[in-house]
Amino acid sequence: MTDTAIAAARSPRYTDEEMAAVGIRPLRTPEVEAFRAQPVDHVGPLPWPFPEDLGAFRYSVNVDPARVPRPTRAGEWGRHLVDLGGADYLTIMTEKRITHDADPHRTKIRRGMEPACWDLLLYYLRDLAITHPEVMHLDEGVDGNPDAFHWRNDLLGTDQRFVLGEWDSIPHGPLEFLSREVPDDMLLVTERDGRLYFDAGAVCFAAAWSVSFDVGMDMYEIHGPVPRMRREGIVARAEQFLRRLPADRVYRRLNWNLAASPTRKYDIALESLPSWGRDMALRQAAGDAIPNVQLRIELEHFVRLPTTGAVTFNIRTFMASLEELKAVPEWCAQLADIVEELPEDIAAYKGFLDFSGDVVAYLRAG
């Protein structure tokens, strides 16, 4: 891989001044320095979305238990509920905070969802403190108040006290505060009138959809544009699964796409379309679009929150360029087979029908 290609494949690196502008000031502890010194690797932790024997892709309710490590040909994924992203964590969180600061509408909360937002915050902060105790800490019952908490994230320099239920005690409110601490997009689903509705979310990295538009819709409305999902009963099965989700089990599933922008831009939401909508055309004109096309994988987690019973639908986005995937020839061969076989309606919905042939040729070129 050339130096130019490596630079294009990596996330942008932000300076200390740029990070400080969005409130990120990492502590200078040995643990933080060791974390930041990790090599950048977009392939090793990639949650490869296809079983080894799969040669054709169709949408399905492909869920399995979470917090179970899954080995791959390149490494491992899935050990924790939250994958921080290794050395890319600060880059991802800087991009996320820039997006939140530029567009407050990336956080949407319908009336009555405030208790679920607190429930989600506490669930995730407790999990992070358990899985990353060397750099993340949560003190409970501060000063004898059972509703008072103290959260510290040494990687971002966060040091925040808050009182559960007091919205003004935490910057941006509990949902967006959490979104500014973790790489995942956070969505909350509730049941009413016999249907599941997407009633709150903090979403910075949507793949060509809009949180502002989708909040308040039920699952059938949200997935209406997806080919075959409603006709083949997939939405109904997914809704049934979520309605029956137990409170003591966490599940996950994978989704994939070839990103509309051949860059490592995480934010390709409809809200930011003017900033990325011409990326493909520009890179095609430059002659380097296809090697830099990103395989974009979404790791989705489903949790029934313990206090309110609301269900999370959270999305962690991973990306690796096609050039980076050349490190695993078996993956290139499988992805080429899947893209080539994919029905036109699914490839068109995913947005890569026009350049799918070039992708297949590149992956098979060795």
**Looking at the annotation, which residues are catalytic?**
253
Q: Which residue has the tokens 């169709």?
A: 58
Name the residue among 146, 144, 136, 210 with its Cα closest to residue 178.
136
Beta bridge partners of 347: none
CB 317 within 8 Å of CB 203: no
- Per the CB < 8 A criterion, the answer to whether 200 and 178 are in contact is no
Round to whole Å and give the CA distance between 53 and 44.
20
CB-based contact 103:271 (threshold 8 Å): yes
In contact, 82 and 182? CB cutoff 8 Å: yes
d(C-alpha 348, C-alpha 360), whole Å = 16
Rounded distance between C-alpha atoms, residue 280 and residue 290, angstroms:
9
- Residue that has been written with the tokens 């006709």 in this structure: 231
Query: Contact 314/184 with Cβ under 8 angstroms?
Result: yes
- Residue 342 token pair: 């994919």
| All residues at 6 or more sequence positions from 130 whose CB lies less than 8 Å from its CB, including other chains | none
Beta carbons within 8 Å of 322's beta carbon, 6+ residues apart: 290, 291, 292, 293, 294, 295, 332, 359, 362, 363
CB 292 within 8 A of CB 262: yes
* Residue appearing with tokens 């932000």: 14
- From the list 350, 326, 329, the residue with the least C-alpha distance to 339 is 350
Residues 6+ apart with CB under 8 A from 83: 45, 77, 183, 299, 316, 318
DSSP string, 206-228: -BS--HHHHTT-BHHHHTTTSTT
Query: What is the rounded CA–CA span in Å between residue 64 and residue 224?
Result: 24
